[in-house]
Structure formats: C-alpha cells, structure tokens
Amino acid sequence: MSLIVTKFGGTSLCDLERVQAAAQKAVACRQEGHEVIVVVSAMAGETDKLEDLGYSISTRPDPREMDVLLASGEQVSIALIAMAIQDLGVPAMSYLGNQVPVYTTECHQRARITEVGCEELRRSIDQGAIPVVAGFQGVASTGEITTIGRGGSDTTAVAIAVAMGALECRIYTDVDGVYTADPRIVEQARRMDRVTFEEMLELAALGAEVLHLRSVEYARRYSIPLKVFSSFIDGPGTLIVEEGESMEQPEVSAITFDKNEAKVTITNVPDIPGIAYQLLGPVGDANISVDMIVQNVSRDERTDLTFTVPRNDFEQSLEILRDQVIRLRREAEDPTLYEMEVIGDDAIAKVTAVGLGMRSHAGIATKMFETLAQYGINIQMISTSEIKISVVIHEDFCELAVRMLHSAFDLGAD
C-alpha cells in the first residue's frame, strides 16, 4: 500500500471545525486506499502567542526554554486531531517529536533534522492507526527538546515522507496552491499548476511562507513529490517539479517579499585585507545568518559595509558589532584607522522577482527599477542571482512594490 504524508498548517487549524475538517481529509485519504501519516503545526496564532509570552517574561529568553515553550503548541493540536480522527471511527495515535523520534542537532530554535526513527510510526500504521506527529519539534541526541525554526513543520512532514519512503507529501494550507505572489497582498495573483524546485527554493528563501525552505530542499534532494493544496476547498493544488525541457519560461514567474530582515551598516571601514572577516566573523559565530552583503567602492581608503540579518537578531548584531569595533580600535596600532560607526535600520523590506526565464531574457532588472522609480520607491540595496533580483526598500512601500511589479511583469489572471 502506498503511504502519503499529509501536513496541516496552523492556518488550517484555526478552530475546532477546521480541526475536524483536517481529520476528515486524513480519513478520506485512507479511504482512497493509502496508508496515512498526519503531521501538524500548532493551531493558528498559538506559536506567536507562546513566543510573545517568552519575550514578555524575559528580554532575551533562553533558547532552550523557548524550545520547551514553543513545542507545547503542537502538543495540543496533535491530541485534538487524533481525537477527531478517532471520532470518525479510525484509530489514531498522537506523537511528540521525541516519541517518533525526530532526531535533530542541538542548536535550539534552529535545529536541523538529522534522522527520523521509522519503527514506531510503522508499528502504528501496521496496527491500523493513523499516526499524528507534532511538526516543528524534535529531540537532540542529548534528549533535549528542540525546534527547527518557524514554519518548520513542512520540513518535518517531508523528512518523515523521506524516511518512511512515502509516495508523496501533501501540504494542506489556507491557500489552494503556490501563487504568482502572496494572494493576501495581490488580489490578481494566479495559482500556478506547477512550479520548479529551483524557483520554489528562491521563493521560500525570500519570504513566501507557503513552504518552509528546507522542506523544498529535502523534497528535491530525495525526489519526494511535494504538493500544496487547500485544506478548505478541493482543487488541483500546485506540484513542485524538476524543470522539464518543454516548460514554458516566462521572464518572471512570481514576486515575493520579506519583512523579517533588518539592515546593518558599518561606515568608515578601513579598506584593508581581513576587515570583513574581523567584522562579520563574530556575527557568524553567534549563529546569526548574514545575507545580502554590499561593500561600496572605497573612497580615501574607507568604505561602507552593509548587510542584512534576520530582524529577530538585529539588536544582538548591533551589539556584537559595536563591541567588535571597540575591540579593534583598542588593539590597533593606529586607532584612527578604526573610526567606524555601526548603524542599523529595521524598517526595511526585501522584494524579489523570481523566474527561470531570467536566464534567457535581458532587461528584467531595468524593468524592475523602472517600475519602482515610477512610484517613487527608493532602492537601498540590490542583489541578483541567475534566476532572481532582490531589492531592499523601505517597508512602508513593500505592498505597493509587490503589486506594481506583479502587474508590470503581467503575472495576473487574464
């Protein structure tokens, strides 16, 4: 019998009616003749509430304790879904991450899944039950509870699908597929029947919450068919696919945005070898991922270095860099060389156009800059790769920019 892993996100579990609807979908999948594993996230808004609680009690909450706190959200939803499935006459068993077990690295709040134990899930299925697994959480080899990053239950679902040799992984959410832009922001956004892994990786990395980045990476690496469906309505959904030769390649396939970053600038940086390493090394050592680095051409042997970091790590990044600047000045033979200033801005948004067609179409950047210029939107930073162009702008213009670019690249429904 073929196994299907179905994942229900928080947005699909906003109330008890939705919990029952998710249970019905899982049972229907089984009635089609499949073995089924359900992976769930916490009910809508619960993880945010828990995170807020942590930050209300402590200005910099201990990551270990935050994991214990955040993991409790999924404990509620697995039990409720399991009970709802049982009420439909089908046996179900809930599992926390450490009961599966879903093994992870030890890095609290950003752990990575290293292995999934299959024995217990297999035993449960063989006994006729639907296992209901808590997404987003796992257990380190030390026995510590870990979480794998916000939005991570998609990744739990794919990791379980890979480990269990599933036929496919279905992600049920509040939209009926992957769109040309976030449908909450762009009314004209269009569902795509298919999107390539390559584009989906860029979209997920650059703000499209619909799939967690690592779920796309795993599914691609292990060739697990990954599909996005609505948990509210039936429909064809979106299939994430490898690029085929005959696939039409519009110049831009989708526009996405990310408001979860902040910008850090170090001014007056001496233009000497090793300085970027000395400044960014301690930021990396603190496990803060640095993105979009821009270093300007030097004037008078001084330059400005600007980069973005996750907004949650903004204050800590400023602190680390200010300490580092003081240290470098103190230890330098010529302290005047190190008259740097660290400034930051967290009111930014990154807006990105993604498309495989960029490889073969010229002028896409120009069209993007022209569109932003028409609406008086100032570009603060730019970065490009083979299939994407990102700009950093003021966050107040984010939605306008996304809508205008979506329309400029003609992505809307006819």
Report the first-to-last Cα separation within the chain, whole angstroms: 41
CA distances from 171 to 9, 25, 36, 300, 374 (A): 8, 12, 13, 54, 38
Q: What is d(CA 86, CA 78) in angstroms, rounded to the nearest whole number?
A: 12
Write out the two tokens for 341. 């200033």
In this structure, is the dihedral angle defined by the CA atoms of residues 329, 330, 336 and 342, taken in order, positive or negative? positive
The distance of closest approach from Cβ of residue 9 to ligand ADP in the complex, given in angstroms and rounded to an integer, is 2
The distance of closest approach from Cβ of residue 405 to ligand ADP in the complex, given in angstroms and rounded to an integer, is 13
The distance of closest approach from Cβ of residue 196 to ligand ASP in the complex, given in angstroms and rounded to an integer, is 23
In this structure, is the dihedral angle defined by the CA atoms of residues 312, 307, 259 and 233, taken in order, positive or negative? negative
Kindly identify the residues of this chain, within the stretch 21-50, that bind ligand ASP according to CB under 6 A: 41-42, 47
Residue placing its CB nearer to ligand ADP in the complex, 117 or 183: 183
- Binding flag, residue 208, ligand ADP (CB under 6 A): yes
Q: What is d(CA 296, CA 24) in angstroms, rounded to the nearest whole number?
A: 57
Structural Rg of the chain based on CA atoms:
23
Task: Write each residue from 5 to 44 as x if it is in contact with Mg ion (CB under 5 A), else as -, in one continuous string.
Answer: ----x-----------------------------------
Task: Write each residue from 45 to 64 as x if it is in contact with ligand ASP (CB under 6 A), else as -, in one continuous string.
Answer: --x-----------------
The distance of closest approach from Cβ of residue 14 to ligand ASP in the complex, given in angstroms and rounded to an integer, is 12
User: In 10 A of CB 123, how many CB atoms?
Assistant: 12
Among 131, 151, 177, 355, binds ligand ASP (CB under 6 A): 151
The distance of closest approach from Cβ of residue 150 to ligand ASP in the complex, given in angstroms and rounded to an integer, is 4
Among 6, 153, 303, 306, binds ligand ASP (CB under 6 A): 153
Residue placing its CB nearer to ligand ADP in the complex, 204 or 275: 204
Residue placing its CB nearer to ligand ASP in the complex, 146 or 153: 153
Nearest to 193 by CA among 172, 183, 181, 178: 178
- Binding flag, residue 151, ligand ADP (CB under 6 A): yes
- Binding flag, residue 175, ligand ADP (CB under 6 A): yes
The distance of closest approach from Cβ of residue 402 to ligand ASP in the complex, given in angstroms and rounded to an integer, is 22
User: In 10 A of CB 349, how many CB atoms?
Assistant: 22
- Binding flag, residue 209, ligand ADP (CB under 6 A): yes
- Binding flag, residue 254, ligand ADP (CB under 6 A): yes
The distance of closest approach from Cβ of residue 414 to ligand ASP in the complex, given in angstroms and rounded to an integer, is 34
- Binding flag, residue 150, ligand ASP (CB under 6 A): yes
- Binding flag, residue 152, Mg ion (CB under 5 A): no
Among 97, 151, 177, 355, binds Mg ion (CB under 5 A): 151
User: In 10 A of CB 195, how many CB atoms?
Assistant: 26
Count CA within 13 A, CB hemisphere, residue 198. 15
Nearest to 118 by CA among 103, 106, 139: 103
Q: What is d(CA 156, CA 77) in angstroms, rounded to the nearest whole number?
A: 15
Name which of ligand ADP, Mg ion, ligand ASP, none residue 42 binds, using a CB cut-off of 5 to 8 Å depending on partner kind.
ligand ASP
- Neighbouring-strand partners of residue 37: 5
- Binding flag, residue 182, ligand ADP (CB under 6 A): yes
Three-state DSSP state, 362: coil
Q: What is d(CA 44, CA 104) in angstroms, rounded to the nearest whole number?
A: 25
Among 70, 159, 161, 210, binds ligand ADP (CB under 6 A): 210
Burial class (CB in 10 A: 0-12, 13-18, 19+), 10: buried
Name which of ligand ADP, ligand ASP, Mg ion, none residue 150 binds, using a CB cut-off of 5 to 8 Å depending on partner kind.
ligand ASP
Contacts to ligand ASP by CB under 6 A = 9-10, 41-42, 47, 73, 135-136, 150-153
